[in-house]
Amino acid sequence: MKKVELESFFKSFSIFFISIGILIGTIYYINYTKEIQKLDDEIFSKMKICSYDLKCEEYKINFVLTQEQELYKLYKIKDALFSYFPIPSSVQNRLEISLDLEKYNDIIKEMQKQTIIGLLFVMVVVLLLSGIFALYSLYPLRNALHLTEEFVKDILHDFNTPLSTLRLNSSMLEKEFGSNSKISRIQRSVQTILDLQINLRSYLNNVVSQKEELDLVELLKQRVVMAQISYENITYINRVGKKKIFTNTEAFSRVLDNLLSNAGKYNKTDGTVEIYLSSDGKVLSIKDSGKGIQKPQKVFDRFYKEQERGVGIGLHIVKKLCDELDIKVKVESEVGKGSIFHLELE
């Protein structure tokens, strides 16, 4: 399952299980209190019968002076349950019939035990039903995601022909008329679409779960070389020493490519991009000397952008890929001084 599917599954499961669990628990509690009341009524009935024939071994019988005791009522005190009954032809005395509280508590404990066992059994059944319900409710989402992904993959595939034609013709125009700003803009736009195509393919291929140990230094060398080719006027400084990480190579490469590309794209002329690790080696940072971001808190939102260049989806894909890789990505930025993107690798 993808992360979004797992999230949907656990939310559906939790809502169903918690709501039904609360309902079942309430029913069992009400039933338990009724059982207690039923037990008390049963004990009182036996005491009442005992007051007529005095034949009741489990109850204690005593004669007490008449005070302010209420007749025909069950009392509960520290060590006993008792009730008072009138004695025929006697006004000064009353009959007191009591049950040892320890015996009463033993009965209560047995009732509690049976109630808990029954409740646990029902909750196990509810647990299984919750899982089935969550899986069943997940099918429409999975089908919708599958259809959407297949549609996007087909569109991406259909992009290849017109993009190849654009690249070929722009190269021919450059040879025929020489390099100029209009041809460069066409080439940059084509490259932007190609970058988006690569990012979307990486995200849709669902290979994030296939993780392996990779050499961060070697991977950064490769990605920095590619970024340097695209942004010749930007100086990329790689300060990362020996470091191994366990992640998905393709997805993490896409994250680095996006961050390094953005650091060059939105940098100032003859600017710098510095890549370095924190002192404990757990955080990889990419710092640029560019324009900075006015609203860093919105930079990972889909289609959000502060410049005319780009379509505002690159950093959104970075965030999605980082979520899939269990990597926390954060940004610090100051307008006019540049931005720093932090990747928490551990």
- pLDDT at 25 (0 to 100): 92
How far is the C-alpha of 38 from the C-alpha of 108, rounded, in Å?
12
Question: Distance between alpha carbon 239 and the CA centroid of its chain, in Å?
Answer: 35
Higher pLDDT, 288 or 90: 288
Q: What is the mean pLDDT of residues 56-77?
A: 85
Is pLDDT above 60 for 207? no
How far is the C-alpha of 134 from the C-alpha of 13, rounded, in Å?
5
Q: Tens digits of per-residue pLDDT, 92-151?
A: 888 889 988 888 888 889 999 999 999 999 999 999 999 998 888 888 877 777 777 777
- pLDDT at 309 (0 to 100): 61
Q: What is the mean pLDDT of residues 233-256?
A: 87
Is pLDDT above 80 for 192? no
* pLDDT tier for residue 345 given thresholds of 50, 70 and 90: confident
- pLDDT at 214 (0 to 100): 87
Q: Tens digits of per-residue pLDDT, 269-321?
A: 889 999 999 988 889 999 999 888 888 888 888 777 766 665 567 788 888 88
This prediction has a pTM of 0.52
Higher pLDDT, 240 or 305: 240
* DSSP structure string for 37-72: HHHHHHHHHHHHHHHHH---TTSEEEEEE-SSPPBS
Per-domain boundaries in the chain: 3-136, 211-344
Calculate the dihedral angle through the C-alpha atoms of 145, 150, 156, 161, rounding to the nearest 10 degrees.
Answer: -170
- pLDDT at 58 (0 to 100): 84
Query: What are the tokens at 204?
Result: 């849709």
- pLDDT at 320 (0 to 100): 84
- pLDDT at 174 (0 to 100): 81
Pairing label, strands 235-238, 272-277: parallel
- pLDDT at 315 (0 to 100): 84
One-letter amino acid for residue 150 of the chain: E
Is pLDDT above 60 for 206? no
Q: Tens digits of per-residue pLDDT, 1-33?
A: 666 778 888 888 999 999 999 999 999 999 999
Q: What is the mean pLDDT of residues 172-195?
A: 78
- pLDDT at 242 (0 to 100): 83
Is pLDDT above 70 for 218? yes
Quote the mean pLDDT of the chain. 84
Q: What is the mean pLDDT of residues 165-185?
A: 81
How far is the C-alpha of 25 from the C-alpha of 4, rounded, in Å?
31
Q: In the chain, at which residue ranges do the beta strands (DSSP E only) sit? A: 60-65, 74-76, 80-87, 90-100, 212-215, 235-238, 244-247, 272-277, 283-288, 328-334, 338-344
One-letter amino acid for residue 25 of the chain: G
CA distance to 304, 305, 319, per residue, from 308 (Å) = 11, 8, 21
| Architecture of the CATH domain 211-344 | 2-Layer Sandwich (3.30)
- pLDDT at 310 (0 to 100): 57
- pLDDT at 166 (0 to 100): 82
- pLDDT at 203 (0 to 100): 60
Burial of 153 (0-12, 13-18, 19+ CB in 10 A): middle
